[in-house]
Structure 1
Amino acid sequence: MRVFNCDACGHLVFFESLQCVHCGAALAFLPDSLRMASVRPESAPEPSPPHGWHSAKPAPQGTSADSGQPLRYRLCAHRHDISLCNFAIAEDDNQDLCLSCRQTLWLPDASNPANQMRWAKIEAAKRLLFYTSAKLGLMRTDGKADPDQHPRFSLLADMPDAAPVLTGHAHGMITLNVVEADDEERVRRRLALHEPYRTLIGHLRHESGHFYWDRLIAGSHWLEPFRALFGDERQDYAQALKVHYGKDPLTLHWQEDYISAYATAHPWEDWAETWAHYLHMVDLLETAASYDTHIRLPDGMVQPVGMRDPFARPGPDFDTMLAQWVPLTLLLNSMTRSLGHVDAYPFTISPGARRKLRFVHDVVRERAGSMAL
């Protein structure tokens, strides 16, 4: 995720910001131009009902919202509850919720305060997924897309005398057990499954991989190349998972051909794990590029490696991204170790995983090209 600047005073602000701490300007994220903007009320100020706001400045040239004039918006109805959603809604969109919030169709029992906090954390992660997906050209941001072209979300909690809620994807619906928003529960599950990494955004990116497999791979010219690289997805999925969970995770030999141990379970899971990892890559590379990061490795390398924005048009090719990625993750892990934490990036990209990541890159770039037409 890149960092932003307040367009009222130029001070640094972040994707989650509701207000500039320097000048006090109200801020909103504008999905139609994928930027943070200062917004001003045209009628009643906050915390009145969110309507009649306009951006302080026009959208940048070349964006879908470029009209040369400041644009009018309403603020998401979840801005003033525990979600603290800072997304705006275009004036001609008659919905009360922003493009990200309206993708959530089912919520857990809100009478439980813990569920409210869990929902807020998940929505924050969902907004980050929305941003990355939109930057990659995987979804429209004008509010006019067919709802079936975007994932839908069901955020559910376990209930007494009912089967546990399983995180997963089916027919365009991503279900997430909201207990995954609790740090202690997520760590417990990570340790029990011998996983090196388990986060909310990781779950959402993984499940979005299943969603986009249905839309980008199934029935397309990519299907046979997918099967050649990842395996035949027509094998029995339930049986494959049963076999996988029946094995000792420490005995799985996955390091040469997969990005994770779970990727060995089934070709669909291999794709989803690789897809999630690709989203990790582009998001972290964009963050580094927005800080104009240059890395000089301590092995005598003369020329520092400069991070390039993976969302630029034209963007860097996959080999360039990978050449930036390796020193960036070395720096990241060295910094987290200095603070007494485990590695923030506990992975090594093997030759097999590299080929699969390149495949995801090619699929995404083709999709972005078709969306630009």
Structure 2
Amino acid sequence: MRSWTCGVCGQLVFFENTKCLRCGNPLGFDWAMRELWTRPEEPRCANFDAIGCNGLAANAGELCFACRLTRTRPNDDDSIGIGQWADAERAKRRLLFELGELGLPTDGLSFDLLSSAHAPVTTGHLDGLVTLDLAESDDAERELRRVQMGEPYRTLLGHMRHEVGHFYFPVLVDTDERRAMVRACFGDERADYQEALDRHYASGPPANWAESYVSAYATMHPSEDWAETFAHVLHLHDTLQTAREYGVRVEGPPGRPDLHAEPVVIEGQTGLREVLDDWLGLTYALNALNRSLGYDDLYPFVLTGPVIEKLDLIDDLVARRR
């Protein structure tokens, strides 16, 4: 994420802010210009009052670009669902900003943000439609599911990054040459999905899964391996861009030059492999800081050679599309 300042007083502001906390001037994100403006005369998104969306609209009473992509959301009289919807929209706006930074198209992408308090909801993707169970916005519920599923990491943003990974498979893997490359790396996505699903939940991941996969869930099917790895590429891009914007520099412990990390960015200039040394130094430091606060590792992943190969392939396909 980029860093932002108030256009009136120069105060540091953030992507999600609706006003400057120093001077009180309203802030709005212009999706066409990709800038956070201090322009009180610009029309706000029609969802501003309901969920605090800070997007700017073309005309008064209209939705901003991000909110227009939501096809279904909770009813106005569902106070709990509205609160959960607001959390999901914040995560979605950040996702859409990053997709724009990477030059990835969003034509054909839409979202159903549904509450499982009223009917069963399965988070997933089908033909460009991402469905999200809004129960995932509740910290306690999400943590319970994370523990039940044996996952080291589970967030709203992570779910969305994974599901749009399915959407971008046919966008990025659009030639016979690219399909051959991806199948050689991830396996054949045409393999029977239901059979793979039944096998995964009956037997679990293989004992040595961490040697070749970024997560246990990625072992289930080549399509899920692709989506999990795609989500991880987005994790890397967003975190490294944020580190660069804030000038984060890690010297590393004395005598460990391998854990030095400069503020780097990977969009457009440097391949993914070239910045992973910086990524290692940064994540070691972040994990150590988290442990000092009594939390689990902020970055609970191990990037092995085969995993790096998959990350690099997807990053290269994204760069070619850009």
Q: TM-score, normalised by structure 2?
A: 0.94
Matched with 1:75 is 44
Give 2:57's match in structure 1, choosing from 89, 102, 120. 89
| 1:295 and 2:250 matched | yes
| 1:37 and 2:40 matched | no
Matched with 1:58 is none
Q: Residues 243-271 of structure 1: CA distance to partner in whole angstroms, max 9, x if unpaired?
A: 1011245x542111110000000000000
| 1:174 and 2:174 matched | no
Q: Residues 219-260 of structure 1: CA distance to partner in whole angstroms, max 9, x if unpaired?
A: 5531110000000111101111111011245x5421111100
Letter in structure 1 aligned against 2:316: D
| 1:324 and 2:267 matched | no
Does the CA-based 8 Å contact 1:290-1:309 persist in structure 2? no
Matched with 2:300 is 346
Q: Distance in 2 between matches of 1:265 and 1:137?
A: 29
- Name stretches of at least 5 consecutive residues in structure 1 with no aligned partner: 42-52, 54-73, 141-146, 369-373
Does the CA-based 8 Å contact 1:308-1:316 persist in structure 2? no
Change in 2 beyond 3 A, CA 1:40/1:114 = closer
Matched with 2:80 is 114
Does the CA-based 8 Å contact 2:17-2:27 persist in structure 1? yes
Letter in structure 1 aligned against 2:297: D
Moved more, 329-338 or 22-31: 22-31
Q: CA RMSD in A?
A: 1.9
Matched with 1:154 is 112
> How many angstroms does 1:319 deviate by?
2.2
Q: Distance in 1 between matches of 2:160 and 2:242?
A: 19
* SS of corresponding position for 1:255: helix
Letter in structure 2 aligned against 1:292: G
| 1:125 and 2:79 matched | no
Q: Distance in 2 between matches of 1:159 and 1:187?
A: 17
> How many angstroms does 1:193 deviate by?
0.9
Letter in structure 2 aligned against 1:32: A
Matched with 1:227 is 183
Does the CA-based 8 Å contact 2:114-2:121 persist in structure 1? yes
**If each structure's helix is expressed as a fraction of its own residues, which one has the higher value?**
2
Residue-pair matches, total: 321
> Among the aligned pairs, what percent are the same residue?
41
> How many angstroms does 1:308 deviate by?
1.6
> How many angstroms does 1:299 deviate by?
4.2
Q: Distance in 1 between matches of 2:31 and 2:47?
A: 15
1:143-222 map, 5 Å: 147-148=107-108, 151-158=109-116, 164-219=120-175, 221-222=177-178
- Name stretches of at least 5 consecutive residues in structure 2 with no aligned partner: none
Q: Distance in 1 between matches of 2:88 and 2:79?
A: 14
